Amino acid sequence: MIDPFGRDISYLRVSVTDRCDFRCTYCMSEDMAFLPKKDVLSLEELERLCNVFVKLGVKKLRLTGGEPLVRKNIMSLIRSLGHHLDTGDLEELTLTTNGTQLHRYAMELFDCGVRRVNVSIDTLDPKKFTEITRWGKLENVLRGIEAAANSGLKIKLNTVALRGTNEDELPNMVKWAGERGFDITIIEVMPMGDIGTENRVSQYLPLSMVRSNLSEHFTLRDIDYKTGGPARYVEVEETGTKIGLITPLTHNFCESCNRVRLTCTGTLYMCLGQEDAADLKIPLRNSEGDEALTRAIHEAISRKPKGHDFIIDRRQKNSSVPRHMSVTGG
């Protein structure tokens, strides 16, 4: 699959559910209205869609949410998709999780062929953690991280930089991760969806400031390292681990974008920061063969834009993109 700008689309992120057991202040409002179950694709339908994408050249598949591990019977889907690793058609099967269910599923994930997971964690302060997630417990996430590490899974932490909330804690988080051999990716807050009474302008912290602060604590070296995602990496000389920096607002990361996002309703978004989308549910459900579905995917890829339009502006009250991150997939 080649887009209009010559980029080979080989990375599919699949949101298996929009539901989550957290209500993070930068992601969603506390009183969220989730999708009716009738609108959500079955696990069998999601598997069929993923199978078609693998046939079309997808080599990396990441399951996201919401929180993917709260979806009932999700391990049956992961085990089925893991068969593509055995054939060599898929190079990597992974997921992004908030870690609350990892203590239950870590060993099974490894058995299914998953070799690394991204765990979202924005603070190591229990009180602050509950404030950010609105009702999460840090101890549950730390237990999940420990279980994942013990099972053989490689762990990368994802941390959203939040002005006035965790900016003073980021050096300690880098140190904590490095002591355990974990890489960490720090992300600028993304202007997606209504988050209720919270204000993204006040949350926004440019990563140029974060890096400057980290440089006072660590020796950072720019490296040419890629994982298929949008992060730019530096190595921490003191720990030998890496820090990824995802900067959708201060530095557009679109020039090498090789990914598309599929929601749990069968909607394909060619760009995280654009509203143009393709409905794959119709060709999925209206045909037994995959020809119509394949045509719909190719037509969608032909519309993939060059880049996103993210912006945070004090004069702009609405989000750049009205849908929540949990709908598209984190």
Whether 19 has a pLDDT exceeding 70, the answer reads yes
Band the pLDDT of 27: cuts 50, 70, 90: confident
Domain-embedded: residue 320: yes
Domain-embedded: residue 1: no
The DSSP code sequence of 15-38 is: E--S--S---TTT--SS--PPPGG
Domain-embedded: residue 48: yes
Band the pLDDT of 309: cuts 50, 70, 90: low
Domain-embedded: residue 179: yes
Tally of domains in the chain: 1
The overall average pLDDT reported for the chain is: 88
Q: What was the pLDDT predicted at 305?
A: 85
Q: At 66, which amino acid appears?
A: G
Domain residue limits at 197? 11-328
Whether 45 has a pLDDT exceeding 60, the answer reads yes
Domain-embedded: residue 92: yes
Q: What is the CATH number of the domain that holds 218?
A: 3.20.20.70
Long-range CB contacts (within 8 A, 24+) of 225-234: 228/10, 228/11, 228/60, 228/92, 228/258, 228/259, 229/11, 229/259, 230/257, 231/185
| Average of per-residue pLDDT across 266-285 | 90
Domain-embedded: residue 77: yes
Bridge partner residues of 192 (DSSP): 321
C-alpha separations of 299 from 53, 296, 304, 322 in Å: 13, 5, 9, 24
Separation of alpha carbons 65 and 124, rounded Å? 23
Least trusted range by pLDDT, from 164-168, 299-303, 317-321: 317-321
b or e along 20-51 (b: 16 or more beta carbons within 10 Å of the residue's beta carbon)? bbbbbbbbbbeebebeeeeebbebebbbebbb
The HSE-up count of residue 194 (CA atoms within 13 Å, CB side) is: 6
The answer to whether the beta carbons of residues 64 and 18 sit under 8 Å apart is no
Band the pLDDT of 24: cuts 50, 70, 90: confident
Instruction: List pLDDT tens digits, range 206-258.
Output: 899 999 999 999 999 999 988 766 789 999 999 999 999 988 655 555 677 88
Instruction: List pLDDT tens digits, range 143-200.
Output: 999 999 999 999 999 999 999 999 999 999 999 999 999 999 999 887 644 545 455 5
Least trusted range by pLDDT, from 20-24, 55-59, 150-154: 20-24
Q: What was the pLDDT predicted at 25?
A: 83
Separation of alpha carbons 242 and 324, rounded Å? 29
Q: Which of 175, 182, 157, 60 shows the shortest CA–CA distance to 113? A: 60
Instruction: List pLDDT tens digits, range 88-141.
Output: 999 999 999 999 999 999 999 999 999 999 999 999 999 999 999 998 999 999
Domain-embedded: residue 6: no
Domain-embedded: residue 218: yes
Q: What was the pLDDT predicted at 204?
A: 86
Bridge partner residues of 8 (DSSP): 2
Q: At 179, which amino acid appears?
A: E
